[in-house]
Structures are given as C-alpha cells and as structure tokens.
Amino acid sequence: MQGLKKSLLTAVWFMFLTFPIMVIRVNTIEKTIVWRWENLALVGISVFLLSYVWRFLMSRRERGNKQNAFATDDRAQAFRALIEDRRIRYSLIAAFAIFVGVFPFLFSMYQVNIMISALIYIMLGLGLNIVVGLAGLLDLGFVAFYAVGAYAYALLNLHFGLGFWAVLPMAAVLGAFVGILLGFPVLRLRGDYLAIVTLGFGEIIRLVLENWGTFTRGPSGISNIPRPDLFGLEFGLQGRIIYMYYVVLALVLFTIAVVTRLKYSRIGRAWMALREDEIACQAMGIDKTQTKLMAFSLGATWAAMAGVVFAAKTSFINPASFTFLESAMILSIVVLGGMGSTVGVILGALILILLPEYLRAFAEYRMIVFGAIMVLFMVFRPQGLIRDRRLKRRFHPAESSKGAEAVPTGEGMARGAGSHG
Amino acid sequence: MAEAGPVLDVRNLTMDFGGLRAIDSVSLDIMPGEIVALIGPNGAGKTTFFNCVTGLYTPTSGEILLSARGQRKRLNGLKPNHITALGMARTFQNIRLFPHMTVLENVMIGRHCRTRSSIFGAIFRPPATRQEEAESIEISYGLLKEVGLTALVDETANNLPYGAQRRLEIARAMATEPALLLLDEPAAGMNPSETRELQALILRLREKHDLSILLIEHDMKLVMSLSDRVCVLEYGTQIAQSTPEEVSRDPRVIKAYLGEEADA
Amino acid sequence: MGRMEYFLEIFFGGLTRGSIYALIALGYTMVYGIIQLINFAHGEIYMIGAFTALIVAGVLGSLGMPGYAILLLTLPIAVIYASAYGFTVEKIAYKPLRSAPRLSPLISAIGMSIFLQNYILLAQTADFLPFPNLLPYFDLPDFVGGILTSSEVTIVITAALVMAGLTSFIKFTRMGKAMRATAQNQRMAMLVGVNVDQVISLTFIIGSALAAIGGVLIASHIGQINFYIGFIAGIKAFTAAVLGGIGSVPGAMLGGLVLGWTESFATGYVSSDYEDVFAFALLVLILIFRPAGILGKADSQKV
C-alpha cells in the first residue's frame, strides 16, 4: 500500500512536471498550439511503473552496500567459474575470433561499414579508458585529440599528398604532443576542475576549426580523403571497405594488447594508485604530474590515431563531428562498459553503437538513452556492466613456505596478464 | 651505517597557517637506528610536523635535512615523491591504502620509485622490464612475509581487517627502501596483543633494514617500551626531549599530557 | 556613431549579458558551495525555464491576453517549473551519490544534462523558436537612447533586485543561515540540527529559480531559443562562477559582470568570430592560474 501511494504520488508529480513540455507544443511562427494529452497519460503510466523499478533497484543497492564485498551473488560466481574454465574460455574466444575474422564475407557492405564505426569507437573507448578508467582523470575534451588526428590526415593529405600509413604514426606523435601541451598546465587541477578545463579546450579546438577557414576550410569541412592503401594496390569499392575493416580490426587488437600490458605494468599500477589516493600515491614516491601526463597523452595518442581512421573511413570531415556530445558519447561507452575494464569497454561500444544502428526506430532516442545510462549507471552500477577485476597471482601455500625463490616470475605475470584482459 | 651524523636533522621548524602558528621552532634529530617517539596532546602539531617533514606542507621557516642513501639533502620545498625517493617513507594516521588494488600491488606501488621501466617497457616488455617486474614481486612478497600477510596477497586491500591494513601500510612504506620510517599512530585502534605484535614487528624491521623510526603514538606503554628517545609537543612547541624515563618524570609533560588525560 | 557612444553601447551590452550570467552563475556557486558538485545540468534548467515561458506565453497569447499580464503570469510559472525540475534532478541524479567518489555525481550530472537537452529536443523541436518580447517597453531619455534599450534597463534592474533579495535572504533569514552553516561544514550543521537534505533541496530550488528568471529575461531580449542554449550559457555561467570564486555568492555576481564585459569588449573591439572562444579561453586561464577565483579562498586538502 505504501508503495502504491508513493508510486501514484511520483506519477502525479511527473505529470505535473512534464505537462507543459510534453503536452503543449507552441509554434510561435504559425501561431498554432497543439495539445497532446495522450503524452500526459503516457508519462503517468510509465512513471508509475518505473517508480516500482526504481525502488526495487534502490533497495537492492542498499542491501548491496551492507553486504560484505567478499560475497558476490551466486549467479555471477557461477558465470565466472564457467568463463574461467580454460576449455570453455578458449573455445569461446576462438569462436568469437573466427566470427570477427570472417565478418566482412558474411554480411553486406552496409553492415561492414557499421562494424567499422563500432571498431573505431572501441579504439576511442579504450583510449579514453586509459585516462578515465585507469588514471581516474575525467577528460571531457577527448574529442579534441580525435579532431587533431582527423585533421592531421585530411590536411597532410590535401597539401602534401601523404597516405594513411604515413600519417598514422605522425598523428600518434602529434596527439601525444598536443596531449602533453594541453595536459601540462591543467593536470595539477582537482578532478572536477580538470573535467571542465578539458571541456573548454575541446570546445576551443572545435571553434578554431570552425572559424579558421583558410587553414581548415571552416564548417564546410574537407572531402575526398582517401582510404588506406596497400603497397599501391588498387581495390574495388567493396575491396576497399573490406580492407578498411581489417585495418581497423588490426588497430583494435593492437590497442587491446597495449592497454592490457599497460594495465598490469609499473605505470598502470601507478595510474590506478593515483586514481585511488593521490596523497598516499605521492607519499609512495610517485610523481603525480608526470604519471598523469603519461595517461593523458597516451589517451590523446589513441584518439588521434582513431581520428586518422575516422577521416579515412568517412572520407569527409568537418568540425560538426567533433562536438562535446561526441566526447560525452565516448564517456558513456566507458561508463556503461565499466571503467578500467577492457572487455567492458568493448562491450559498451558494441552496444551503444550497434543497437541504435539496428533498431532504427530507436535511433533518435540515442542521445537521451546515453544521458540516462550515465545517470542510472552512476547511481545503480558504478562499476559498469563488467567490473574491472584485479589480477590475481596464484601463490600456492607450498610455494610460499619455501620462501622467496618460489614466487612467480615476470614470465608468469605476463601470461596472467594476457589471460585477464 | 655509513653516515655518522643524524639521519634526520630538523632545526627550528616553524609552520604557520594564516595567523595560526601550528609548529613553533621545533628541533629534532634522529640518529641511525634510533627510534624516536613524538607525543603530545591532540592538536599539538604532531601530524603537521610529519606533513612538513614529508613535503605535504612547505614549512614557513626552519631547516629539514635528510642523510640517507649516501647523500645529505635539504628537504624544504621538495615534493613528497621526491622526499620518498631520497629515503624517507611514512604511514598515515587514517590508513590510506589503495583500497581496490590487491595487497601485493599495494606493496609494489612502494617499489615505483626504485624501478625504472616506462611506457615503452610496459608495451614491449624487454627482458630488463621483465626482470625488474619479477624483482619487484619478489621484494614485495618478501616484505609481506615480514609483516605476516602472505596469506592475503591476492585480496583487495579494502577487504583486510583493520590490524592487517596497518601492517600492509608499513610493508608498502618499507618497499620504498627508506632509511627513515615515519609512523603516524601505528597502534591506533589495535588491541593489546596486536600492539605487542606491532612492537615486535617494528623492532624486527629496524634490525633487518638498518632503519631509523620516528613515530607518533598515543599508546604510552608502547612509546615507553619501544622508543630510545621521546619528544613532547604542546601547542606546537617542544616542551621536552629526552629518554622515556626522564620524560615520564618531567612535571611539564605530566601537566600537559597526562594532566589532559586526567581531565578527560 | 561616436567612439564614446560605441564604447558605452558595448559597456551596457556587457552589463546586460553579465547580469544574466550572474543570475545563472549563482545556481552553480550555491550548489558547489554546499555539495561541491559542478551541477552540469544547471544550464538545462535555465533552458527549460525559457521553454516553459515560451509555451505558457504562447498559450496565454492565443487567449488574447495583454502583454503585461502575460509577463506577470509567465515569469512565475517558468520559475516554479524550473525549480521543480531542479528539485527533481537533485533527487534522482545527485542525492543517491552523496557519499560516492567525487567524479560519480559529475558524470551523473553530465548524463542528466544530455538527457534533459534531448528530452526537450524530442518533446518539442530541434529548431530555433522565436521568443516573444515580454519585457515592457518604455521611452528612454534622448541622451541614452542610442546607447541602451529599455529591455536592457529592465534586465539589469531586475537582476540587481533579485540578487539583492538573495543576498538578504542568505544573510538574514533562518534558512539562509542554515545554508551558510551547511556550506561551511555539513556534518557540523547536521549535528546542530540543520536539516541538510532540506537545505540542499532549497539550494537547488533557489538556483533553478534564478536561472529561470535569467532565461526568460535573455530569451525575451535575444528573441529566440532552442534546446541547446543551456549548454553554452551553462558553461559561460560556470566560467563566471569560477572567475568570481566558486562557492562565493558575491563572487558569482562579480564574475558574471567581468565575463559579460570581457565578451562584449572582445567581440566589439577584437573579433566577433571567436565570441565563444573568449569565454572558454578565460575559463581555461583562470582555472590554470587562479583556480580560487577573484574572491575565493584557496582550499587545502586535509590529510
């Protein structure tokens, strides 16, 4: 009864709240007014139902907080055991690898193009994950480096005729350089200020691209950017798309390898420590600024490389592709997937990029859903879909009693790291 | 120990916050292998003293000199990480571990300033990096053994019981290879048997690692039995500095410190 | 036009802009002062205030109501709605995260901002809508006629009155004292019997109300709105808040004016292409060189 009353009250409150916006539509040019009363009913009913869901999630959250962190729920435990079984794990990975490998031959070019987009977002997500997920620096201007990469390719190609493979490493270096340049003055700021400054930088770079017409061709953008070439080989249109797919796939695999290795390295540990407690981190001898700068510029490197790929894929770029919303979208990929978790970010990118493509009716709700995801995940599942887990090293009791010679070597570490990506 | 002089030499340290003088001209030196306790009522400036020495605050005036790792350096104005690299490590009054990292990783963070490998090493894993990483693990594991936490290496730090968290913080600090270890209320919240273990641990560490120790502590029994020398602060000024026995007989100390406890 | 007149025109233009920025900045600064959150969705509250006003004014206009009556009804309704949105946003997106790591509520706020923008986009329109001029028109004396308009005068005077009201509210009322207490030390305030939840809600309500007033004033002045106006206005108002010293109420007012003038003079004398760049650049520069702002105090972290 209590719940019913609460839900009714909530529904009435939201009907009041959304009344002018949802029901009335005023056209101030033609002086017409449309009343959409059906929306009022819609809001009432959906809020009524959602409030039950909200309360259920809230109570679960509260219970979760009280529970010891040792006790994760059984289903997750069973699932994990299943995943950790070597045979099942490897056959799953193999099946997935084969699927990804033959994808362009199974599906239409339209699908392949969409998948290329998703792969670019995986790259971006993993890059941002270094900055946000590992080092805990909220970078809201990530798209600026993406723009740097895209424009680097477009302009270098336009003026000097440089190809994709020549520009890719140059853009990476340029991204790192711009990252250091922008990061150096701002990285000593507190987390929330840093977020706003990076947002400011992102917008400044976009506005400069828009207004510096002689250099960037302004809002009309740059077109006819070539796709990647392969030792001067000529492909047909279809061949070019398929080749593009494999290029991006290779870059994504490279990214995954790099991110995984970084995560379990001396630097990766320092990033995570910095995220957890800056003061303790400094007291342990870690140079705060330098460590942050590494994460920031490495993220920028990846964004710039993704930018080159993006320019090559669409063959047309303009400043409108690099708005704050783009940064927010990449951030929601990371938030949804799970900050710090590589598998999570990949999953997040696939869900957020592919779902709106395949559910066309849903496409216009894309941004509103991104917004909702960011709020709801922060409130109910801040760890994201896949919780980032720390690498466990198996010390057997027998070994540890034998002493220091028996501790695992770096070799064992490397293997462990590889399998926990 | 190579150095004959004091490991830490603090002269006339003064720290002002706005108009408030938190520490007023305190001098203190610590000889190699010595255990010195810093005591005083709450708000006497003990933690502020720690924060000045470890570089979290820049003192208003005075000299802080550290002789460790074969060099003598003035610490005023250096960043905390730099000071740690010079050979001084600390623990915190309100434990500051990295809660979501494993116990082993927490200790390995302490190795950061003694290791070199960078992004390049992390990505390409040349033999030097692998070896460094293996050594880091080995040393960290050894330290965990010393503090008795090997059973919990893979646990995340926030899942550790309180006493274990305190010991982990000590192991993490030790991983930076300090010549001087600063402990900020290491026995706070411990029961008598845990405190006894802690005392044994501190003595063992000093023995094995040629360590000098400066500690803040409220547990008088621990202070009296552990320290070679005691420095008493009250309202930011030093009111006594002597052996535990003498200090416990000093009327000013009794008035300032024990008197306060009697009132409370 | 003479150089002096041009200067004065820009000066009053900046003053008008600045008053609006100050009104919105107050919301940022009050919320930040109390829960240390950059309420990223605050710009959207301002936008929703303006939209509600547009809808209400449209409906009332179609009923054939006279202009001053429309204004007298529209403004309070817009204020009530914006406050209701501010209140609800806090309950949904921020309250559950009060003890979470610092970046969590910020990410939630960004999500809320995107959500609200797209809510208006989907429920209303993506196009710019012409906004009726609700502000009263009156003749100004000849010697100022070329320099400023009657709506500028209305905006500046209204903003000044509202801010004076807010200042005395914070200074003299019981609730205002509770707000100041909570801003200084939330736990202590709670211990001495301040209802912190209530104070936080009230802060959001007041901030949103001020934003709505700003929204209605500026929309009338400029004459058009769309779902995106909150983003830019929000960032600029945040810049104003930081400029003055975030957490400081007089700082937000001062910061608003400084920003308004900076923008006006920069676009008036340097280049109008980069209008928004000046604000962003100012934001970046202040945060880098003086994050405490003009009137703020540098805070030191507790160990």
Question: Which segments of chain A belong to CATH 1.10.3470?
Answer: 87-380
- Token pair for B27: 């001098």
Residue with tokens 């991104």: A370
From CA A317, how far away is CA A307, in angstroms rounded?
10
pLDDT exceeds cutoff 50 at A118: yes
Mean pLDDT of B61-68: 93
CA distance A191 to C107: 12
A211 and C273: CB-CB below 8 Å? yes
Q: How far is CA C88 from the centre of its chain?
A: 18
Residues of A in contact with B99 (CB under 8 A): 276-277
- Tell me the pLDDT band of A76, cut-offs 50, 70 and 90: low
Which residues of chain B does A282 touch, with a Cβ-Cβ cutoff of 8 Å? 56, 79-81, 84
**C303 part of contact set with chain B, CB < 8 Å:** yes
Cβ pair B81:A276 closer than 8 A: no
Q: Does residue A69 carry a pLDDT above 50?
A: no
CA distance A80 to A64: 19
Amino acid at B144: L
Q: Is A16 on the interface with C (CB under 8 A)?
A: yes
Residue to mutate among B69, B105, B118, with most A CBs inside 10 A, is: B105
CB within 8 Å of chain C, chain B residues 21-60: 47, 51, 56
Q: Is B129 on the interface with C (CB under 8 A)?
A: no
- The minimum CA-CA distance between A391 and chain B, rounded to whole Å, is 8
Looking at the structure of chain B, the number of domains it has is 1
Beta strands in chain B (DSSP E): 8-17, 20-30, 35-39, 61-68, 71-74, 88-90, 180-184, 212-216, 229-234, 237-242
Answer yes or no: do A267 and B118 touch at CB < 8 A.
yes
What's residue C39's pLDDT?
A: 93
Residue C301 has what pLDDT?
Answer: 42
pLDDT band at residue B70 under the 50/70/90 scheme: confident
Which of C56, C110, C263 best probes binding to A when mutated, by most A CB atoms within 10 angstroms? C110
Which percentage of chain A shows pLDDT scores above 70? Answer: 86
A250: number of Cβ within 10 Å: 11
Nearest to B98 among A70, A276, A408 (CB): A276
Task: Find how far residue B172's CA is from the centre of its chain.
Answer: 11
3-class DSSP state of B16:
strand
The model's pLDDT over B162-171, given as tens digits with 9 standing for 90+, comes to 989 999 999 9
* CB proximity C288 to B under 8 Å: no
Q: How many CB pairs (< 8 A) connect A and C?
A: 177
Model confidence at B203, pLDDT cuts 50, 70, 90, reads very high
Q: Are C40 and C283 in contact (CB under 8 A)?
A: no
Cα separation, A243 vs A232, in Å, equals: 13
C-alpha span between B45 and B40 (Å, rounded):
8
A211 at interface of C, judged by CB pairs closer than 8 A: yes
Contact A283 B54 (CB under 8 A): yes
| Residue A370 with chain C: CB contacts under 8 Å | 111, 114
Neighbours of chain A (3+ CB pairs under 8 A): B, C
CATH of the domain at B240: 3.40.50.300
Cβ C54 vs Cβ C227: under 8 Å: no
**Cβ contacts (< 8 Å) between B92 and chain C: which residues?**
303
Whole-number pLDDT of residue A71: 45
Please give the residue of chain C at the shortest CA–CA distance from A363: C122
How long a stretch of residues is chain C?
A: 303
* Residue contact B176–A285, C-beta within 8 A: yes
Taking alpha carbons only, the member of B70, B63, B71, B55 closest to residue B26 is B63
A235-267, pLDDT tens digit by residue? Answer: 777 888 889 999 999 999 999 999 999 998 999
Task: Establish if B2 belongs to a structural domain.
Answer: no
Query: Does residue B249 have a pLDDT over 50?
Result: yes
Q: Compute φ and ψ for C50, nearest 5 degrees.
A: -65, -40
Smallest CA–CA distance from C132 into chain A, residue = A28
Do the chains contact at B98 and A277, CB–CB below 8 Å? yes
Q: Does B1 reside within a domain?
A: no
Distance in Å, alpha carbon of B249 to nearest chain C alpha carbon: 33
**Both structure tokens of A48:** 């009524």
- This model of the complex carries an ipTM of 0.90
Q: Do B130 and A411 touch (CB under 8 A)?
A: yes
A346 membership: H or E segment, kind and range:
helix A342-358
C303 interaction partners in chain B (CB closer than 8 Å): 47, 51, 56, 92
Q: How far is CA C24 from CA A32, C19, C29, C55, C220, in A?
A: 31, 9, 9, 21, 16
pLDDT at B157 over 50: yes
Give domain status of residue B167, yes or no.
yes
Q: Are A318 and A221 in contact (CB under 8 A)?
A: yes
Out of A142-156, A322-336, A403-417, C155-169, least confident range: A403-417
Number of residue pairs across B and C with CB atoms under 8 Å?
Answer: 4
For A103, A186, A200, C106, C283, the CA distances from C290, given in Å and listed in that order, are 53, 12, 16, 22, 10
Decide: residue A13, CB within 10 A, 0-12 exposed, 13-18 middle, 19+ buried: middle
- Tell me what pLDDT residue A80 has: 67
Report the residue from C62, C116, C125 with minimal CB separation from A31.
C62
For the residues A319-341, what does the mean pLDDT come to? 91
Which CB contacts under 8 angstroms, 24+ apart, belong to A402-409?
A404/B138, A404/B141, A404/B142, A404/B145, A407/B137, A407/B138, A407/B141, A408/B134, A408/B137, A409/B130, A409/B134, A409/B137
Which strands make up the sheet holding B180-184, listed edge to edge? B88-90, B180-184, B212-216, B35-39, B229-234, B237-242
**Confidence check: pLDDT of A206 > 50:** yes
Task: Please report whether residue B13 resides in a domain.
Answer: yes
Which residues, at least 6 apart from B178, have a Cβ–Cβ distance to it below 8 Å?
B68, B84, B87, B88, B89, B211
Choose the weakest-confidence range: A64-73, A155-164, B129-138. A64-73
CA distance B152 to B130: 24
* A269 to B109: CB separation less than 8 angstroms, yes or no: yes
Among A361-370, B254-263, C179-188, which stretch is predicted with the lowest mean pLDDT? B254-263
- Nearest CB neighbour to C100, from listed A33, A367, A382: A382
Cβ of A212 under 8 Å from any chain C Cβ?
no
**A267 contacts B142? CB cut-off 8 A:** no
Q: Which residues pair with B35 in a beta bridge?
A: B213
| Token reading at A386 | 């896949």
pLDDT-derived band at B250 (thresholds 50, 70, 90) equals confident
Is there a contact between A407 and B133 if contact means CB atoms under 8 Å apart?
A: no
Model pLDDT for residues A129-150, shown as the tens digit of each residue: 999 999 999 999 999 999 999 9
Distance from the B249 Cα atom to the nearest Cα atom in chain A, whole angstroms: 36
Q: Is residue B237 part of a domain?
A: yes
Contact B79 A287 (CB under 8 A): yes
- Greatest C-alpha distance within chain A: 87
pLDDT for the residue B42: 84
Structure tokens at A320: 């409108």
With vertex at residue C112, the alpha carbon angle to CA C109 and CA C113, rounded to the nearest 5 degrees, is 90
Q: What string of pLDDT tens digits covers the 303 residues of chain C? A: 678 888 888 999 999 999 999 999 999 999 998 988 999 999 999 999 999 999 999 999 888 888 888 989 999 999 999 999 999 999 999 999 998 887 889 999 999 999 999 999 999 988 899 998 888 888 777 777 677 888 888 899 999 999 999 999 999 999 999 999 998 888 888 888 889 999 999 999 999 999 999 999 999 988 899 999 999 899 899 989 988 888 888 899 999 999 999 999 988 888 777 778 888 888 888 888 888 887 766 554 444
What residues in C contact B56, CB-CB < 8 Å? 303
For tokens 């709605």, name the residue: C81
Please indicate if any CB of chain C lies within 8 Å of the CB of A196: yes
Residue of A nearest to C228 (CA): A325
Each residue's pLDDT tens digit, A288-311: 999 999 999 999 999 999 999 999
Report how far residue A135's alpha carbon sits from residue A142's, in angstroms, rounded to the nearest whole number: 14
Query: What is the average pLDDT across B33-62?
Result: 91
Collect all residues of chain A within an 8 Å Cβ-Cβ radius of residue B141: 395, 400, 404, 407
Q: What is the residue type of B261?
A: E
pLDDT above 60 for A23: yes
Contacts of A276 in chain B (CB under 8 A): 98-101
As a whole-number percent, the residues of chain B with pLDDT over 70 amount to 95
Could you write out the DSSP letters of every residue in C11-56? HHHHHHHHHHHHHHHHHHHHHHHHH----TTHHHHHHHHHHHHHHH
Domain ranges of chain C: 22-163+207-289
Q: Residue B135's domain spans which residues?
A: 8-263
Residue B144 vs residue A68, higher pLDDT = B144
**Euclidean distance between CA atoms A175 and A130, whole angstroms:** 15
Residue B260: band (very low, low, confident or very high) from pLDDT cuts 50, 70, 90: low
Chains linked to C by 3 or more Cβ pairs within 8 Å: A, B
Task: Output phi, psi for B65, to 5 deg.
Answer: -125, 135
Average of per-residue pLDDT across A199-227 = 88
> Of all helices (H) and strands (E), which one includes residue A355?
helix A342-358
Q: What are phi and psi of A316, to 5 degrees?
A: -150, 130
The rounded mean pLDDT for chain A is 85
Is the torsion defined by CA of C227, C229, C233, C235 positive or negative? Answer: positive
What's the CATH fold of domain A87-380? ABC transporter involved in vitamin B12 uptake, BtuC (1.10.3470)
Name the residue of chain B whose CA is nearest to A275's CA.
B98
